[in-house]
Amino acid sequence: MTNIAIEGLSLSLGTFALDNVEVALDGGQILVVLGPNGSGKSVLLETIAGFHRPDAGRILIRGIDVTRLPPERRRVAFVVQNFGLFPHLTVEQNVRLALGPHAKDKRSGVLSPLAGDAAALLSYFGVSHLAARTPGRLSPGEKQRVALARALAANPDLFLFDEPFSALDSQTREQLRDDLLSLLRRICLPAIFVTHDHTDALTLADRVLVLRHGKTVQVGTADDVYRRPSDAFVARFSGVENILTGRTGAAQGNRLPVAVGDIVLQAVKPSSPPGAEVQVCIRAEEVRLHDARSAQDSEWRENRFTASVANIRRMGAVVRVELEGPCRLACCLLTPQLQEMRLERGSSVEVSIAAEALHLIPA
């Protein structure tokens, strides 16, 4: 049964707008709404929470139409940047404040013994020892746990996260993401997580919705968005480094030739008519470089050509190599690989790309 359904949601709000957004979400699923600043993703979340009235569409939570209910009656938990703990209250008071009329309603699963009990909630999240502290001096991880305990005190049917990690350094971010994921998996409530960080999307999402100017550009699994972006915008946004313009030729077997720059690359045959202009997406890590030893491997015969190294950019664990040749390509290597291959600016290198790595988007 569908737990959360958003049907044809439209809204215009100053410079922000939502246009016919559709979402369906089951219990325990995490939907990540991915979009750049100004795409309307926060407005979507605030509309679901009840802070904006949509011009059209419905919001159903557990089958109940909440479109016209005020936020306090929707039973959604809202978690924001820095977690929004009330600074003038202790951790325990923060949780107690949320013990409202629904606090003691029956719940399912791991949550049933926690109903209406602030102390039990704090201990479930391992933060009992912080009960008397004010939020000011908590670590981000502690804040996140207190925020979840507080949100659950009100017995929500849906979790909404509005870029909770955006003010954190990448290391803390990673820890909190893991922590959040395992807690959400245990709690088994549906969650909508808004972010502009595609790593958040890849690690958290059961499904991803990419939003641009208030319109849904793509819905799918994180892998879909990562490997098969529906257009050049999604491709760029999910970090595809090589987006080349090409023209398809006549399909042969299950291979489709695509002319890119001065070379014809083989792609896996999609349903594209010959002679069509396409955009070819190739992720930087799918571009393989070979030294003389592996040059004989028959395995890597497809889409093989020689290019020269135009630039090398070291980024710690990985290295970005920019290639010039029949077409310009960026390629991503692990640092030890670069050292093994003794690549430097101007060196000549063998390149191969698996046909499966070419993703074609109609231009």
Partner 1 sequence: MANRAQHGWWRSAAPSHPTTVFLLLWLLGSLLLAFVLIPLLVLAGTPSLSGLIDAARMPDVRDSILLSLEAACLSAILTALFGVPLAYVLARTRFVGRGIISAIVDLPLAVPHTVAGIALLMVFGRQGILGEPLQALAGLKFWGTLAGVVVAMMFVSAPYTVNAARVGFEGVDLQLEKIARTLGLGPWRTFWKITLPLARRGIFTGMMLTFARSISEFGAVVILVYYPKTAPVEIYELFLRVNLQQAVAAAVLLLAVSLGLFVLLRFVAHNPDLRESR
- Given 52, 102, 196, 247, the residue binding partner 1 (CB under 8 A): 102
Q: Closest CB to partner 1 among 77 and 358?
A: 77
Query: For the sheet containing 207-212, what is the strand order?
Result: 64-65, 56-61, 4-13, 16-25, 215-220, 207-212, 30-34, 191-195, 158-162, 76-80
Taking residue 313's Cβ as centre, other Cβ atoms within 10 Å add up to: 10
Which residue, 160 or 222, has its beta carbon nearer to partner 1?
160
d(CA 363, CA 356): 19
Which residues on adjacent β-strands are paired with residue 314? 319
Q: How far apart are CA 233 and CA 36, in angstroms?
A: 10
Q: Which of 53, 56, 64, 81 binds partner 1 (CB under 8 A)?
A: 81
Q: Which of 54, 99, 352, 361 is nearest to 230 (CA)?
A: 361
| Among 6, 21, 127, 153, contact with partner 1 (rule: CB under 8 A) | 153
Shortest separation between residue 41's beta carbon and partner 1, angstroms? 15
User: Which contiguous run of DSSP H or E holds residue 79?
Assistant: strand 76-80
* One residue of 100, 274, 336, 362 binding partner 1 per CB under 8 A: 100
Interaction of residue 70 with partner 1, rule CB under 8 A: yes
Determine the interface stretch with partner 1 among 58-66, 94-102, 246-254, 280-288 (rule: CB under 8 A).
94-102
Q: Please state whether 179 falls in left (phi above 0), alpha (psi between -120 and 50) or beta.
A: alpha
**Among 1, 37, 87, 317, which residue sits at the site for partner 1 (rule: CB under 8 A)?**
87
Decide: is 246 part of the binding site for partner 1 (CB under 8 A). no
Going by C-beta distance under 8 Å and a sequence separation of 6 or more, which residues neighbour residue 166? 81, 195, 196, 197
Which residue, 17 or 80, is less far from partner 1 as judged by CB? 80
Tokens, residue 151: 């949100």
Binder among 55, 56, 64, 88 for partner 1 (CB under 8 A): 88
Q: Tell me the two tokens of residue 254.
A: 């299950």
Site string for partner 1, 117-136 (x = CB under 8 A): -----------------x-x
Name the residue nearer to partner 1 (CB basis): 26 or 72: 72
Is 74 or 359 the residue whose CB approaches partner 1 more closely? 74
CB closer to partner 1, 75 vs 198: 75
- 16 interacts with partner 1 by CB under 8 A: no
Give least dist CB 14 to partner 1, A: 11
Contacts with 112 (C-beta within 8 Å, 6 or more apart), sequence order: 106
C-alpha torsion angle, residues 95, 100, 102, 107 (rounded to 10): 20
Applying CB under 8 A, which of residues 13, 60, 97, 251 lies at the interface with partner 1? 97
Binding mask 158-197 for partner 1 (x = CB under 8 A): --x-------------------------------------
Q: Which tokens in the block code for residue 13?
A: 């709000």
Burial of 294 (0-12, 13-18, 19+ CB in 10 A): middle
Using CB under 8 A as the binding rule, whether residue 76 contacts partner 1 is answered as yes
The footprint of partner 1 (CB under 8 A) covers 46, 49-51, 70-72, 74-78, 80-81, 84, 86-88, 97-98, 100-102, 134, 136-137, 150-151, 153-154, 156, 160
